[in-house]
Amino acid sequence: MERRRVAMPAVAGVIAALLASCAPPAQGTSTAKTGCVSQSEATRIWATVDDRLNAIELDPHHPGLSSVTTGNAQTTINAYLQQQLVGHGFTEREVDHLDQLTVVQAGCNGSRLVLNVTMTLIQDDYLNAAGKVDHQDASVGKQLTLLQEYVRSGSGWKETDFSDLTPPGASATPQILRHHHGTLLYFA
């Protein structure tokens, strides 16, 4: 019986705190969001991570993945690098053109930055150990649409997850894992 009397005020306190957090802010208090990313900053973040990932693909040792990715993105891209590039003795020379970038979630108050990106694959050569083109990705010239998530890391950002929003049939590359802007796409 004692525990119930002690627990009831504690539960009432928690409920009151939750209700207070839902109430509109008191006059004179700020609800300003902090750390929000602007459109131009989001474009810079995307370009920085994309350029770094393209450089990682081109380097035969593929160093630095953890400096620009984390979470699911890192796991998936690492699997791609190992299975599709290292496993076949390839590097990849990729050039992307950003067609459109929309900030879906601006990373305010420590939340994730979420971008909807439409890009065109300008060049995507798979190079053998001698640096000669073995083959090109069939998606060159096609538009791809991706939903990409980033988290703050120190003074920068890392890609943490992604989704391919490209309509079916936009890529003709069957059963090839491809990386575009930190995104691993699998078409079966």
CA dist 61 and 64 (Å) reads: 9
Ranking 12-16, 127-131, 153-157 by mean pLDDT, the lowest is 12-16
* Direct distance between the N- and C-terminal alpha carbons of the chain, in angstroms, rounded to an integer: 62
Class for domain 33-186, per CATH? alpha beta
- Does 35 score more than 60 pLDDT? yes
Structure confidence at residue 31 as a pLDDT band (50, 70, 90): low
Greater pLDDT, 32 or 39? 39
Q: Which of 15-19, 31-35, 40-44, 74-78 has the lowest mean pLDDT?
A: 15-19
Mean pLDDT across the stretch 83-95?
95
Q: Averaged over 85-93, what is the pLDDT?
A: 96
Domain chopping of the chain, boundaries: 33-186
pLDDT at 20: 38
User: What are the start-end ranges of the E strands in the chain?
Assistant: 91-106, 113-127, 133-136, 143-153, 156-164, 177-180, 183-186
**What average pLDDT does this structure show over 89-114?**
97
Assess whether pLDDT exceeds 80 at residue 111: yes
Average pLDDT over residues 93-108: 97
Chain segment 52-62, per-residue pLDDT in tens: 999 999 999 99
Share of the chain above pLDDT 70, in %: 73
* 176: DSSP letter: -
Give the Cα separation of 34 and 89 in Å (integer). 46
Q: What is the pLDDT of residues 119-134, one digit of tens each?
A: 999 999 999 999 999 9
CA 131 to chain centre: 29
For residue 32, the model assigns a pLDDT of 76
| Among 173, 153, 151, CA closest to 161 | 151
